[in-house]
Structure 1
């Protein structure tokens, strides 16, 4: 069990707000061309026909912070995959079930860094689940809790993302539920989740899932082969 950590300020890689706004406009334009217009609906969260569209270098999305609790793989890995997600997003659940295991293998081999950023476009229950995942991370069990929230490739209903249900799930995962409940409602946890959410939205991640792999965007839960091809290309480029 790890001790609670005080969130650190954003590292020096964070780009100026003006640049983020420009990037957000470009990505939002791509999203508007390939997804339905209703933000937050399940239809707007699904796979699109766009794979690594031409656009700006989004390497600024990479944290590479060794103290990041919502990550897997070495901070100095040659390639970074950033996932902008929502715990009520059905396509995020499918991606975590179908493609994340393959990406985790690359992380375990030291070739890939995976960083999760929850943008919570589906509302308060999503934000609560994101806080819960961070509370689990404070006990060294982020990925176990992440997989439990997306068990068998399905997202939980809003009713099953109540505070009581999230604490019960922590118990099922084997966490200290008293500490979990305290961390779930801690201002420091809310601050971390709010920063991640705001950063993702400023970057243009208003529909989930959205990814940045090797500095290039991938929009939607594309097939695993798309991510494998993009990863191999980014790895070759990094070498």
Structure 2
């Protein structure tokens, strides 16, 4: 289990860039509607991932102190504490782009974890609302039984997010049974006050750092926004490994 220093406070230096990205997305949706499309994608739908790479970089403050995201005894952290590279993922279980990234890129990231080159810290920011919060509690409960990735894969099965109706406590408990969890313990942990507090803390951590859209990533303190292609992460990890 990874153990780190206490969190530090940082300025929200990338918020203006995220606002620009959101504005650009809204303009794109307006243009789509003008061409005759019925409606824009909504939370829980699964549009095709945007292949455009958006790398956020402030030349005067390009890095974020990684200790800002670290917590002691965190069940959502995987990989050695002394790994040369740390990847923090801010996600949401109703986010179609998070689902696509989990299918296409996460398996390669887990290979780096197995090799001892990468530590992943997973954070649900729950920008889609209450169903996402419930799913985050369920994922945290699964992580307490050391089955975070198995449960994560079930919620993002086939690279698609679940609809809110598929993220009810009943549906999430069925998913727990599917991946072989102790359902009684899962239910207890999912409803525990400590789980709710951990989920709220993770969400606050994301918004405090400016992660208002999903997925957002910090790779050794360097931010990336959006469902980046796998090669973007592979290249960044290899470069970071080489510099250590």
Tell whether the structures are fold-level matches, with TM greater than 0.5: yes
C-alpha change, 1:96 and 1:77, in structure 2 (3 Å) is same
Deviates more, 1:220-229 or 1:54-63: 54-63
Aligned alpha-carbon RMSD (Å): 2.1
Residue 13 in structure 1 maps to residue 6 in structure 2: yes
- Paired residue secondary structure (1:35): helix
Corresponding residue for 2:162? 156
Contact 1:46–1:209 under 8 Å retained in 2: no
Contact 1:48–1:219 under 8 Å retained in 2: no
Contact 1:74–1:112 under 8 Å retained in 2: yes
C-alpha change, 1:183 and 1:64, in structure 2 (3 Å) is closer
Q: Deviations over 1:172-194 (max 9, x none)?
A: 11111111111111000001111
Bigger Rg over Cα: 2
- Paired residue secondary structure (1:217): strand
Corresponding residue for 2:57? 53
Q: CA deviation at 1:170?
A: 0.5
Structure 2: distance between partners of 1:121 and 1:46: 19
Corresponding residue for 1:28? 15
Moved over 4 A (4+): 40-43, 45-48
1:152-231 to 2 correspondence within 5 Å?
Answer: 152-231=158-237
Contact 1:88–1:157 under 8 Å retained in 2: yes
Corresponding residue for 2:142? 136
- Paired residue secondary structure (2:120): strand
Aligned residue pairs, count? 220
TM-score (norm 1): 0.85
Structure 1: distance between partners of 2:136 and 2:176: 13
